[in-house]
A and B are shown apart, each in its own frame.
Chain A
Amino acid sequence: MQFSIQKEIYKNLSLIRKTQEEIIKRYHPADKMRCPMHFCVGQEIMPAVLGPLMIDEDSIYSHHRSHGYYIAKKGSINEMIAEFYGKETGSNGGLAGSQELSSTKIDFYSGTILSGAFAMALGGAFEKKYNQKKGIGISVIGDGGMEEGIVYESLNMATQMNLPILYICENNSYSTHTTLKQRTLENKPSNRVKNFNMKTTYFDGNDPDKLFNLMKSIVKKIRDTKKPHFVEINTYRFNGHVGPEGDDHFNYRSKKEINHWIKNDPIKFYEKKLFSKSRKLLALKKKINDKNFKIIDRAFRFAEKSKFPKRYENNNFKATYKNVKKFYNNSISFGTVQEDHKPKPY
């Protein structure tokens, strides 16, 4: 592994986590970010390693737990925090919030209605193939989203149409507070996908380098063959399902389970692997984290300073046309009286 790539992965890991920790910290009592948020603390590893593997022409279609992928795609942190504040400088102009965080600048789209974005990747990948672009569609979903019917329509069409899509299923074993076992007898979503004749890969581990090498070959293959590939990663969210508040007081998961995952936190693992060997490396780690903190802190100041949008109702329609110079003159009659129709069987 090149150290420069490892550094980038670490920077991503830390930026994703720190951003969320800061949001959680500053959420109350200020209450200036007034929208539901699904944090991905604990689940940063996949977006972090994808960071160096993505090109500008790739697009992402993500489920609600999307912050990590937005950051890994180099989305502006200023615009992200401003969006959560509901300000006009936000990535969506302040009208959508965290649940539907999107940015045309980086071709990143998310939504909180389960599995819709997963299906949208079909169109994104189709467009890239149609226009002979290098990019691929990246589609992110949770284990819960994998239970919706549209998922199976999409997987079938992706293979049948040979579309360049990287499917990622972040299996964190829970849909809100319901365990996977309570919802299905097949607890590896990727097993269901195999039946569509799609290549699948299952990853369980906390070493970002291992995941990077795996994803590097998969992404290359998708770019070369223009065929979809489905990757399931076994992961865990440390935070509650939604909001800055924890939800472990509901006792829907065991302390033992939580502690096991926190002990194997990929970020802690990586810090030890990369930076523990010398003082110089430790200083480098601090430098990366200080820089990340500056980015985040600046974003909060940017959001505070920004204004709320003045209007919203004019955004429902674009109300423009491509290539149309003028409309047909209504006062000109089209011609003869319309001839009647003769009903015909189907």
Chain B
Amino acid sequence: MKKKKILTFGQAINEALDQAMSRDKSVFVFGQGVDKTGHVFHSTEGLLKKYKKKRIFDTPNSEQAETMLALGASLNGKLRPVLIHHRVDFMAYTFDQLVNWISLWSFKSSKKSYAPLVIRAIIGRGWGQGPQHAKTLHTMFSYLPGLRVVMPSSPSEAKGMMLSSIASNDPVIFLEYRALYNTKELVPTERFYIDLDQPRLRLKGNSLTLVAAGTSVLTSLKAAEILYKEKKIKIDLFDLRSISKMNLKKIIESVKKTKRLVLVEDGWKNFGYSSEIITQIVENKIKLAEAPQRICWPNSHVPMSAPLEKDFYFDEHDIVKACKKVLKEKLIHSN
């Protein structure tokens, strides 16, 4: 048994950054206020003391220039920058840098040049963050060829995925749901790497296939627990990990077996990964027993007000309801 330690999501990222920086002198961390006070939800704590100003530093409020600094510094792996934005919403300023420079960097050089940079961005979701601080733009980024867009769902996942993202020779957008920072898990203490392209089977079962990513994995785990307690139903629960490079092989196999599909996405319903997965299931001519269910955010901006916000986000009970819907027939038979 490998050594493990209980860490929060923020501590796990901190450990990953520390282990990457101590192994590889080309890794550096920067962004607005990243070396100070809150330390980005404790994820950069202690790094300044250990690695000094040269390798972790604050910047002016200039997201566009910061992003191009990361690109220029990363060229052909000369350095491995980790740029941090406290909210993913701030990245809207850097749309040009992502669309016209970073995403096509490898392509337009025919792979002679590459840009191994990591952009960490936090999705505010919850506690009145409102329309300008709670968006998740994961599908917007994933639409672009050439970007790896990943969303970890737990402390262990965050650590392994952060180490892989830094080691990856592609540009990675690493999206962190703020709601996950206080979650805890036993995390391997060693330096370990997660294959960003492979979804992880979190739970095994035969009755239906559920796909989630980021926070929605945690909510889905809770829903699965309820389903088991109430009806002894076991499900295949997949954590997508990567949004832009979804490898759906195992998910397709699972759907072939269960014939039932539920997609859970902390993001808008239109054009989400949920839509993409359903498309691919249809393209693969897989006949479903029931119409697939999508549990997503309404196609509306996020309200700040507490009761409206509560209404806006789904919870485990909404997922349970959707699961029961696709299981309709089965439940009748087993009752």
Contacts and interface: CB of A to CB of B under 8 A. Distances in A.
Interface string A310-344: 00101111111111101110100011111111111
Given A322-B77, A330-B198, A92 B68 contact: no
A322 B72 contact: no
Contact of B72 (A104, A121, A309): A121
Given A116-B101, A123-B75, A328-B160, A318 B108 contact: no
Interface in A117-134: 119-127, 130-131
A112 to B, nearest CB: 9
* Residue from A137, A154, A345 whose CB has the most chain B CB atoms within 10 Å: A154
B71 to A, nearest CB: 6
A339 B184 contact: yes
Given A111-B100, A122-B69, A320-B169, A336 B186 contact: yes
Contacts of A338: 154-155, 183-185, 218, 221
A232 interface: no
Contact of B186 (A123, A330, A334, A344): A334
A340 B62 CA distance: 35
Interface string B276-294: 0000000000000000000
A116 B112 contact: no
A172 interface: no
A88 B112 CA distance: 12
B4 interface: yes
Interface string B61-74: 01011101111111
Contacts of B71: 120, 123
B320 interface: no
Nearest to B166: A322
Contacts of A61: 72
Nearest to B124: A346
B298 interface: no
B154 A330 contact: no
A157 B62 CA distance: 8
A92 B65 contact: no
B72 A124 contact: yes
B146 interface: yes
A211 interface: no
Contacts of A341: 179-183, 218
Contacts of B116: 318, 322
Interface in A151-191: 153-154, 156-157, 160
A278 to B, nearest CB: 46
Contacts of A240: none
B179 A130 contact: no
Contact of A153 (B65, B101, B156): B65
Contacts, number: 210
B135 to A, nearest CB: 16
Interface stretch (A93-101, A200-208, A244-252, A294-302): A93-101
Contacts of B129: 346
A122 B79 CA distance: 13
Q: How large is the interface on B (under 10, 10 to 19, 20 to 34, 35 or more residues)?
A: 35 or more
A222 interface: no
B109 A104 contact: yes
A100 B108 contact: yes
B96 interface: yes
A150 interface: yes
Interface string A234-270: 0000000000000000000000000000000000000
Q: Secondary structure at chain B's binding surface: helix, strand, loop or mixed?
A: mixed
B253 interface: no
B203 to A, nearest CB: 10
A149 interface: yes
Q: Secondary structure at chain A's binding surface: helix, strand, loop or mixed?
A: loop
Q: How large is the interface on A (under 10, 10 to 19, 20 to 34, 35 or more residues)?
A: 35 or more
A95 B71 CA distance: 20
A97 to B, nearest CB: 9
A243 B59 CA distance: 40
A284 interface: no
B319 interface: no
Nearest to A158: B65
Interface string B22-42: 011000100000000000000
Contacts of B167: 321-324
A330 B169 contact: no
A315 B194 contact: no
* Residue from B23, B59, B80 whose CB has the most chain A CB atoms within 10 Å: B59
Interface of B: 4, 6, 23-24, 28, 54, 59-60, 62, 64-66, 68-81, 96-97, 100-101, 104, 106-114, 116, 126-127, 129, 145-146, 148, 154-157, 160, 164, 167-170, 179-188, 192-195, 198, 200-201, 218, 221-222, 245
Given A157-B66, A323-B167, 12 more contacts: A109-B75, A109-B113, A116-B100, A120-B68, A124-B73, A126-B79, A127-B79, A130-B73, A131-B78, A150-B68, A157-B62, A318-B111
27 contacts: A92-B108, A92-B112, A104-B109, A113-B100, A122-B72, A123-B73, A124-B72, A126-B72, A126-B79, A130-B54, A150-B65, A156-B65, A157-B60, A157-B66, A309-B110, A312-B107, A315-B110, A316-B104, A316-B145, A318-B116, A327-B164, A328-B192, A336-B186, A337-B221, A341-B183, A344-B182, A346-B129
